[in-house]
């Protein structure tokens, strides 16, 4: 119910303000998805965290312009955190506080890195799981869970690598500009664009991203 009501409210605002824009949402599908400007909505990313009472879920809204992720936000209403990329920079906004410009941590080596994934179970039991285990054995610290909040922490400089396989466009579209405009890199495992989802790798620096892909694809 929360998923559907939240997406309905967001879609109504977009339709009111930008009736010519497209919309892709997790709950109610797509309209005008071939428009030059397309809003991509995940009303509750991290549903299991939401129903468990853990404030690491978020509301994601991204804006795709001519096929590229240009702007987006992740809102966590219980903590009062609003992470937003406006097309030029990424910021954290809280009521009563001045905006804080975000920057990724500038670690370049995997040995220094903190690594997140939602759960290693997503990698299965074959070569993908072997790749994850290989990477995890090389990092300084690994943590599980946090869904979209892990990606926001990467943009904010608190973690260094986030890998989640099998994402949909609404899971990642809002987070791509948030990380890129803070200095990070987001692609699929094969180095391609992550705007449509897939096996997503995000890292704090280009060097760390390249090293992560090398280990995962070895």
pLDDT in tens, the chain (218 residues): 999 999 999 999 999 999 999 999 999 999 999 999 999 999 999 999 999 999 999 999 999 999 999 999 999 999 999 999 999 999 999 999 999 999 999 988 999 999 999 999 999 999 999 999 999 999 999 999 999 999 999 999 999 999 999 999 999 999 999 999 999 999 999 999 999 999 999 999 999 999 999 999 98
pTM, entire model:
0.96
For residues 200 and 36, what is the distance between their CA atoms, to the nearest angstrom? Answer: 24
Superfamily of domain 2-101: Fructose-1,6-Bisphosphatase, subunit A, domain 1 (3.30.540.10)
pLDDT of residue 83: 98
Which CATH number applies to 110-216: 3.40.50.300, 3.90.1150.10, 3.20.20.140, 3.40.190.80? 3.40.190.80
Concatenated DSSP letters for the chain? Answer: -HHHHHHHHHHHHHHHH-TTSEEEETTTEEESTTSSEEEEEEEEE-HHHHHHT-TT-EEEEEEEETTEEEEEEEEETTTTEEEEE-SS-EEEE-TTS--EE-------SGGG-EEEES-GGGG-SSHHHHHHHHHHTTSSEEEE--HHHHHHHHHTTS-SEEEEEEEEHHHHTTHHHHHHTTT-EEEETTS---TTEEEEEEESSHHHHHHHHHHHT-
With beta carbons less than 8 A apart as the criterion, state whether 195 and 153 touch: no
Domains 2-101 and 110-216 share a fold: no
pLDDT of residue 98: 96
pLDDT of residue 218: 87
**Rg of the chain, C-alpha, whole Å:** 17
pLDDT of residue 108: 86
For residues 208 and 205, what is the distance between their CA atoms, to the nearest angstrom? Answer: 5
pLDDT of residue 107: 85
Residue among 37, 29, 13, 14 nearest 169 (CA): 29
For residues 31 and 35, what is the distance between their CA atoms, to the nearest angstrom? Answer: 9
pLDDT of residue 217: 94
pLDDT of residue 100: 97
Q: Where are the domains of the chain?
A: 2-101, 110-216
């Amino acid at each position: 119910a929360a998923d559907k009501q939240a997406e309905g409210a967001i879609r109504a605002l977009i339709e009111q303000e930008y009736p010519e824009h497209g919309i892709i949402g997790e709950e109610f599908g797509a309209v005008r998805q071939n428009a030059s400007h397309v809003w991509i909505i995940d009303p509750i990313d991290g549903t299991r965290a939401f129903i468990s009472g853990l404030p690491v879920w978020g509301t994601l809204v991204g804006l795709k312009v001519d096929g590229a992720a240009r702007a987006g936000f992740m809102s966590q209403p219980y903590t009062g955190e609003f992470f937003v990329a406006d097309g030029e920079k990424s910021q954290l906004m809280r009521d009563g506080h001045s905006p804080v410009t975000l920057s990724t941590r500038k670690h370049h080596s995997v040995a220094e890195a903190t690594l997140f994934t939602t759960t290693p179970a997503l990698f299965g039991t074959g070569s993908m799981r072997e790749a994850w285990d290989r990477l995890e054995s090389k990092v300084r610290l690994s943590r599980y869970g946090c869904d979209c909040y892990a990606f926001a922490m990467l943009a904010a400089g608190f973690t260094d690598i986030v890998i989640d396989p099998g994402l949909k466009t609404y899971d990642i579209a809002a987070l791509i500009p948030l990380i890129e405009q803070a200095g990070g890199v987001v692609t699929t495992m094969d180095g391609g664009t992550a705007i449509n989802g897939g096996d997503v790798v995000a890292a704090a620096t280009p060097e760390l991203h390249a090293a992560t892909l090398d280990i995962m694809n070895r």
